Every structure is written in structure tokens, then in C-alpha cells.
């Protein structure tokens, strides 16, 4: 997969999710696009309430997707603002950062020694739900609309000490999450698990992406 293919897939999905166009996401200058939030076919099935507000920055584009009543409130407050001013508004909170892999700088890393590793496909993942402590990697829910589809796990003897998991958020984009038990952190396990899972997802011609809170940039 080339970087250009990856971006095409991501922008196509975001256009569906935010009810905007790909051209909106390719803005050449800081500009705001306001759209009415809609449950378009094939949007990623993240939950929405009757009143919804979402703002996205990708490149120079700033897209605001919201229910009509909220649009009427925020549009006059955001129009004419700079990017920094917009994201500093008091009604904008819960910032999240999302990353795509740089496939030109993505060597397959060697695994840390002293541990064993296993790749678990979708049908075997429910057997992992008996193990607690991995809520970022797996969802502990067989009925989730974004099902767990792939896991790389690490064991010390018989104890599972870390997992990286991919959820099928849509057909062409799987989200990566990971957990390592506190006693086994700072040994390179998280880096290896995410790297290995990223390669496994890319080998299936799927875009892996990773989300984290703004408090967890590292």
C-alpha cells in the first residue's frame, strides 16, 4: 500500500463520517467547513446522540459536523477564527489525536527476548475476554458493531502480559489499541506489539490507525 492510497481511503471514509466532501478535506488554506451530521451509509458506527458536535483538523482543513441546532450556535462563534482560536473555544473539549503509519519508515522490529508471542485471528479472540486488564486492545464484547478482528499478544511463561488489538471500524480501516500490564512496561513490548500488528494489518491491504488522548502524546 502506498501513502497516497492510504490517504485516499482515509479521506473517503472521513467524508462519509462527517458528511463532507474529499475536496473539503483537501483545503489549501485554513478554512472552516460546516456540515450537518448525518448517519450516512457505511459511516464508522461510533455512537451519536440526538445532539452531536464534532470538529476535525486534517492538513489545513477544519471540518465541523453537528446537528442543526448546534450548528446554528457554533457557526457564528467559529466563523473567522484561526485554527488555534477555534480549538481553544470553551465548548471544544475531549481532543483526540489519530495517527497513520509512515510506511516508508516502518521496519519490522525484532521482538524483545525472553517472551513468547502469538497472533490471534478474529474467531479466537473471544477466548481472550477472560483475561482482564486489556481494555484498550480488546473490547470484551462479541456484539460490538466494531468487532475485534486481530490480536498480537505476548506471554511470559503462561501469563499474558500484553496485547495489541485491531477493531474493524469500517471495511478499509482498522483501529489499533494496546495494553501492557504495569509490571512489564518499559521493556519495548508496546513498541513491538504495535509494530507487528501494524504490519499484519497492512499485509491484509487494510489501513491501520491509532488514536490516543491528547494527554498521551508519547
pLDDT the model gives residue 106 = 94
pLDDT averaged over every residue in the chain? 94
pLDDT in tens, 149-192: 999 999 999 999 999 999 999 999 999 999 999 999 999 999 99
Q: Give the separation between CA 168 and CA 146, rounded to whole angstroms.
A: 5
Residues spanned by the domain of 112: 103-216
CATH for 129: 3.40.630.30
What would the pLDDT profile of 187-206 be if each residue is shown by its tens digit? 999 999 999 999 999 999 99
The total of other beta-carbon atoms located within 10 Å of residue 6's CB is 20
Q: Are 47 and 143 in the same domain?
A: no
> For the segment 53-79, what is each residue's pLDDT rounded down to a tens digit?
999 998 888 999 999 999 999 999 998
Number of structural domains in the chain:
2
Whether the per-residue pLDDT at 211 is higher than 70: the answer is yes
| CB within 8 Å of 163: residues ≥ 6 apart | 128, 134, 137, 138, 151, 152, 153, 154, 178, 179, 193
Judge whether 98 lies within some domain: no
pLDDT for residue 29: 64
User: 87-92 long-range CB contacts below 8 Å, 24 or more apart?
Assistant: 87/55, 87/57, 91/53, 92/55
pLDDT exceeds 70 at position 28: no
The residue-averaged pLDDT of 106-126 equals 97
Question: Are 66 and 113 members of one domain?
Answer: no
Last residue of a domain, one of 93, 118, 139: 93
Residue 128's pLDDT band, with cuts at 50, 70 and 90, is: very high
CA–CA separation, 119 and 165 (whole Å): 10
38 and 120 both lie in a single domain: no
Among candidate residues 61, 93, 125, the one where a domain is terminated = 93
Q: Are residues 81 and 166 in the same domain?
A: no
Q: Does residue 68 lie within any of the structural domains?
A: yes
Q: Is the pLDDT of residue 218 over 80?
A: no
Quick one: 129 and 24 in the same domain? Answer: no
Quote the CA–CA distance of 23 and 28 in Å, as a whole number: 10
Do both 135 and 206 map to the same domain?
yes
Question: Among residues 70, 93, 116, which one ends one of the domains?
Answer: 93
Question: pLDDT band for position 93 (50/70/90)?
Answer: confident
Residues 108 and 212 grouped into a single domain: yes
Please give the share of the chain, as a percent, with pLDDT higher than 70: 98
Band of residue 99 on the pLDDT scale cut at 50, 70, 90: very high
Amino acid at each position: 500500500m502506498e501513502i497516497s492510497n492510504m490517504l485516499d481511503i482515509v479521506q473517503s471514509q472521513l467524508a462519509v463520517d462527517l458528511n463532507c466532501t474529499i475536496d473539503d478535506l483537501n483545503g489549501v488554506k485554513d478554512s472552516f467547513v460546516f456540515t450537518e451530521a448525518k448517519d450516512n451509509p457505511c459511516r464508522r458506527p461510533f455512537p451519536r446522540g440526538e445532539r452531536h458536535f464534532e470538529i476535525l483538523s486534517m492538513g489545513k482543513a477544519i471540518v465541523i459536523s453537528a446537528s442543526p441546532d448546534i450548528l446554528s450556535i457554533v457557526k457564528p462563534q467559529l466563523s473567522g477564527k484561526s485554527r488555534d482560536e477555534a480549538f481553544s473555544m470553551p465548548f471544544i473539549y475531549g481532543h483526540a489525536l489519530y495517527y497513520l503509519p509512515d510506511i516508508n519508515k516502518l521496519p519490522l522490529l525484532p521482538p524483545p527476548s525472553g517472551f513468547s508471542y502469538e497472533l490471534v485471528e478474529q474467531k479466537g479472540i473471544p477466548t481472550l475476554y477472560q483475561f482482564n486488564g486489556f481494555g484498550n486492545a480488546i473490547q470484551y464484547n462479541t456484539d460490538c458493531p466494531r468487532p475485534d478482528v486481530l490480536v498480537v499478544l505476548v506471554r511470559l511463561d503462561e501469563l499474558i502480559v500484553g496485547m495489541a488489538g485491531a477493531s474493524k471500524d469500517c471495511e478499509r480501516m482498522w483501529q489499533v489499541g494496546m495494553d501492557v500490564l504495569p509490571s512489564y512496561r518499559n521493556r519495548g513490548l508496546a513498541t513491538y506489539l504495535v509494530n507487528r500488528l501494524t504490519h499484519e494489518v497492512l499485509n491484509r491491504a487494510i489501513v491501520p490507525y491509532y488514536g490516543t488522548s491528547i494527554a498521551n502524546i508519547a
